[in-house]
Amino acid sequence: MSASAARAAGVPTAPVVAAGLLGGYSVARYSGVRPAGGAVLAVAGGVAWREWHRTHGGVVATGLLTTYVAGFGLSHPLARKLGAWPSVLTVTACAAGVAHVVHDRRG
């Protein structure tokens, strides 16, 4: 597939969402530098938002980004009940699942 054909087909965003949430948490936890984890989260969110906006417009892109950011925010209180990794895995599955259903799934 050529690069232009890949662009036309779209970028699957569920893996980008998962990489942002899991990667952001991992970087923050294991480096001890929370802003570095936030940078990973922000870059992945920006990549996903750009694709969502390109294919679905601003309203859907904003809704999906809100789901992504809410997952990050909700992982903190959820961690008190489940533990850190189970919390991050839970919100990642939810946010990536929504991205898959709304954007990635074709047909």
Per residue in 40-92, pLDDT tens? Answer: 999 999 999 999 999 999 999 999 999 999 999 999 999 999 999 999 999 99
- Residues whose CB falls within 8 Å of the CB of residue 54, separated by 6 or more in sequence, listed in order: 10
The percent of residues in the chain predicted with pLDDT above 90, rounded, is 87
**In which residue are the tokens 């996903």 written?**
48
Please give the pLDDT value at position 11.
87
pLDDT (average), residues 88-107: 93
Instruction: Inform me whether the pLDDT recorded for 4 exceeds 50.
Output: no
Distance, CA of 86 to CA of 20 (rounded, Å): 16
- How sure is the predictor about 10, in pLDDT bands with cuts at 50, 70 and 90? confident
Which structure tokens are listed for 34?
């929370």
Burial of 79 (0-12, 13-18, 19+ CB in 10 A): middle
